[in-house]
Structure 1
Amino acid sequence: MCTHTATQKPYQLARFFNNQSMALLSPPRLLPLGSGATRICVSKVGVRCAATIAAADGAVTDVSRIRWGSTKLQGPRSEMEDDVIVRSDGLDGFSFAAVFDGHAGFSSVQFLRDELYKECSLAVQGGSVLNSKNIDAIKDAIQLAFTNVDSRLSSWLQEREDESGATATVMFIRNDLLIVSHLGDSAVVISRGGRAEVLTNPHRPYGNNRVSLDEVKRIRAAGGWISDGRICGEISVSRAFGDIQFKTKKNEMLAKGVEDGRWTEKFASRVQFKGDLVTAMPDIYTTELGSNSEFILLASDGLWDYMKSSEAVALVRNQLRQHGDVQLACEALALTALNQGSQDNISVAIADLGKTKWDELPVQGPNILLELSQAFATVGIVSVGIWISSFLVASY
């Protein structure tokens, strides 16, 4: 962390700007260690932070020739509330992968890690429903599983007086078919011949996209309101497991807001709740995986808030072309997001579909327009820094 004061001398400021200019021209450095170890990440401005990299259980499997990599990384936050799991048993040729992103504690994530797979496996009848090709039956089964788990979790949280919650994005994947059940703001991206295809939309109560506008409409119809992009000024995701204060304990939440001075008693008297403000009803997506489908990337918003889907796909492709190790590619992706400024925890799962001969893949050519724009931007920042430092030195 760098601090600056008003008494800093001009030549010190000049040295600062020159150092920042050189940092902008240098790529982030990743200091590699073995999986499960602590790595030191060096950011573009020289900030060092320890990050724990852990491979999830069952990170590699040969179901349908799919190879897996999975990583969870604790960023600058004081607590790790993410988790990622990969399972390849009991689903009749399908693998199961899920990323959980917790908030207000880790309890909900712990519950979901153990229970969501069990409930989903039961609902899809050990995979037979997934293999039926009946889209309506698949959606009904998965939505029922999510609803049942949330009901059980809510009762469990209420007994513990725990107000935690968690988003969850789940993949059921076979070599030729992908089924996604999505709740929250993690995301799934497919690489099709190097082109990034984003399957999911974040459930957030702000923004001008159709999904966000629909979420705001649903929340207001249920008697809620949006303040500073948060439901009742509290939570920035509109679909999640748990979060009982926005489901079964809404009136208690409203009364506590009056006690805490967040709103007036007159305002609270006018609120009439008509439904859950946060819901555990997932969006379901299905897509076929043709010959050009290379890999599937599932990650929490700690990655996507700091990296474009096209950048993530390009990085993973280049990693796999270099060494073919999907676990190493997974770790490199998470570390790159941290080096690009992510302030959140990061969880990633990558499924290499086994359809691409990575050692035969040609080197991906540079994006000339992108590199030129970045170069001009860098030169502009450097020039401004030099001009300011020269002006300050001259006037000193």
Structure 2
Amino acid sequence: MALVRQQFILGGCRHQCHSHDSNTNYNKEEKRTTKMTRGAVRIPPSSSSQSFASSFSASRGLTAATKASAASAVCVTLSTSGTSAEGIAGDIRWGWSCLQGPRSEMEDDVVVRSDSLHGFDYAAVFDGHAGFSSVQFLRDELYKECSASLQGGLLLKRKDFTTLSKAIQTAFANADSKLLNWLEEVGTDIDSGSTATVMFVGGDMLIISHVGDSSVVLSRSGKTEVLTSPHRPYGSSKTSLQEIKRIKEAGGWVVDGRICGEISVSRSFGDIRFKTKKNEMLEKGVEEGRWTRKFISRVKMNGDWVTATPDIYQVALGMDAEFLILASDGLWDYMSCSDAVRFVRNQLCQHGDVQSACEALALAALNRKSQDNVSVVIADLGRTNWQAMPPDQEQVNIFIEFSQAFATIGIVSLGIWLSHQFVA
């Protein structure tokens, strides 16, 4: 079942950020690539009736003419292996970056659409696997389904959370059904899939619809609040145990943290072999000697083993909400949530540039030897005067402790020296 939760007061982290998946497949000899292009896009709030999509694919910065032509953009879609851009909408400043790590293909994508849903911004991170086709389909289709189900954003402005949740669940279900049909029709990357975590941000309210193992983190007066839980069929967290139970009740099984020994994420779009093509997948497993026909004769199917049903959260932001980080697991597997918040906060205190902070955070994950692609979206909520902010208090405390330690050592050393002088 989907998790639907209203949150008006958050007391801290709900879960620990993911630990690195040791089963991640990658070529250790493959050269790390960190391609990045820059683009600054100002998105005027008054242009909500317009629609514009732009892909940044140059290996260097955008030309002045290109930046000028993009200045009226309302919708920006990023789809290349190394991209970054910044948008300003009302009081919210957006920054985003997609970096290709040592993987042979870039299967992530970021979509940011500003002020297009009755005053709500839309931001999504897609993390694909087994090909890019599912992400390619979802980056436009999921927004269309959400917009239609949410009546163009009208339901986001109402206070009926039950109706809102049902509308978002319908949008996700429709998008997944259309994706499965499309994958069969085109026959390209038919086994592909993608996680999707979506944020709707407007006024003092944040709505999150979450499928997969990306995560959303909020900085509230410098304190870290983790707003989502990863859908992974391993570990001892409440969410993981619920996912394992759901999979088994549907007739599936988990081996070494992977469904049927194959996939390590338990909710995603696509992944047709764990939904409408389970019988074909089981027969193929017999042919490959992965299991026996006697084994599959005992499998009782009772639903999808991988599902696109989202967990939905509603969070009241408040004046102490500083910024949001939405990122793929390529970041969270190599950096804790509190470290990421501290990193971004220090960046904003230094220069106030949300795009530079976003790019620096993505690069920091790769510098920590992330073996995955890294996609990051940061929303500076515009409620903090970063120039007036003091340095990170933890760093100040460390400096004070070191100073006190050196002072103590100095006094002790002086006392020892003086005692030797008097003895002499």
In structure 2, distance between residues paired with 1:113 and 1:207: 30
The structure-2 alpha-carbon separation of the partners of 1:193 and 1:271, relative to structure 1 and needing over 3 Å to count, comes to same
Count of residue pairs brought into register by the alignment: 329
- Decide which structure has greater helix share: 1
Q: CA deviation at 1:289?
A: 0.8
Gaps of 5+ in 2: 1-33, 40-55, 61-79, 400-424
1:380 aligned partner? none
1:195 aligned partner? 223
1:140 aligned partner? 166
In structure 1, distance between residues paired with 2:191 and 2:364: 32
1:118 aligns with 2:144: yes
1:238 aligns with 2:266: yes
The structure-2 alpha-carbon separation of the partners of 1:31 and 1:154, relative to structure 1 and needing over 3 Å to count, comes to closer
Q: CA deviation at 1:366?
A: 3.6
1:386 aligned partner? none
1:363 aligned partner? 391
Q: CA deviation at 1:159?
A: 1.9
The structure-2 alpha-carbon separation of the partners of 1:118 and 1:34, relative to structure 1 and needing over 3 Å to count, comes to closer
Q: CA deviation at 1:175?
A: 3.2
CA RMSD across the alignment? 2.2
Kept after mapping to 1: 8 A contact 2:36/2:98: no
In structure 2, distance between residues paired with 1:258 and 1:295: 50
- Within-5 A mapping of 1:206-245: 206-245=234-273
- What CA deviation, in whole Å up to 9, does each residue of 1:106-156 have, x standing for no partner? 000000001011110111111110001111011000000000000000111
- Within-5 A mapping of 1:150-161: 150-161=176-187
In structure 1, distance between residues paired with 2:330 and 2:129: 13
In structure 1, distance between residues paired with 2:115 and 2:268: 26
1:297 aligns with 2:359: no
1:344 aligned partner? 372
Secondary structure of the corresponding residue to residue 276 of structure 1: coil
1:86 aligned partner? 112
1:105 aligns with 2:131: yes
The structure-2 alpha-carbon separation of the partners of 1:108 and 1:370, relative to structure 1 and needing over 3 Å to count, comes to farther
Amino acid at match of 1:197: E
TM-score scaled by length of structure 2: 0.74
In structure 1, distance between residues paired with 2:135 and 2:368: 26
Amino acid at match of 2:149: A
Amino acid at match of 1:129: L
2:4 aligned partner? none
1:173 aligned partner? 201
Match 1:256 to one of 284, 295, 305: 284
- Within-5 A mapping of 1:307-322: 307-322=335-350
Secondary structure of the corresponding residue to residue 236 of structure 1: coil
1:62 aligns with 2:89: yes
Amino acid at match of 2:88: T
2:297 aligned partner? 269
In structure 2, distance between residues paired with 1:265 and 1:248: 20
- What CA deviation, in whole Å up to 9, does each residue of 1:171-223 have, x standing for no partner? 00013110000000000000000111000000001111111101000100110
Kept after mapping to 2: 8 A contact 1:101/1:167: yes
Q: CA deviation at 1:33?
A: 8.3
Amino acid at match of 2:177: S
TM-score scaled by length of structure 1: 0.80
1:335 aligns with 2:360: no
1:278 aligned partner? 306
Kept after mapping to 1: 8 A contact 2:36/2:82: no
Secondary structure of the corresponding residue to residue 231 of structure 2: coil
In structure 2, distance between residues paired with 1:87 and 1:362: 32
The structure-2 alpha-carbon separation of the partners of 1:31 and 1:116, relative to structure 1 and needing over 3 Å to count, comes to closer
The structure-2 alpha-carbon separation of the partners of 1:256 and 1:341, relative to structure 1 and needing over 3 Å to count, comes to same
1:16 aligned partner? none
Q: CA deviation at 1:62?
A: 1.7
Kept after mapping to 1: 8 A contact 2:35/2:59: no
Amino acid at match of 2:222: G
In structure 1, distance between residues paired with 2:252 and 2:395: 45
Secondary structure of the corresponding residue to residue 60 of structure 1: strand
Kept after mapping to 2: 8 A contact 1:175/1:353: no
Q: CA deviation at 1:370?
A: 8.5
Amino acid at match of 1:344: D
The structure-2 alpha-carbon separation of the partners of 1:253 and 1:32, relative to structure 1 and needing over 3 Å to count, comes to closer
Kept after mapping to 2: 8 A contact 1:66/1:175: no
Secondary structure of the corresponding residue to residue 178 of structure 1: strand
In structure 1, distance between residues paired with 2:36 and 2:89: 26
Q: CA deviation at 1:95?
A: 0.1
The structure-2 alpha-carbon separation of the partners of 1:273 and 1:344, relative to structure 1 and needing over 3 Å to count, comes to same
Gaps of 5+ in 1: 1-29, 40-50, 372-396
Kept after mapping to 2: 8 A contact 1:38/1:52: no
Kept after mapping to 2: 8 A contact 1:203/1:215: yes
Q: CA deviation at 1:32?
A: 10
Q: CA deviation at 1:160?
A: 2.8
In structure 2, distance between residues paired with 1:60 and 1:83: 16
In structure 2, distance between residues paired with 1:230 and 1:153: 23
In structure 1, distance between residues paired with 2:380 and 2:215: 17
In structure 1, distance between residues paired with 2:94 and 2:142: 20
Q: CA deviation at 1:52?
A: 5.6
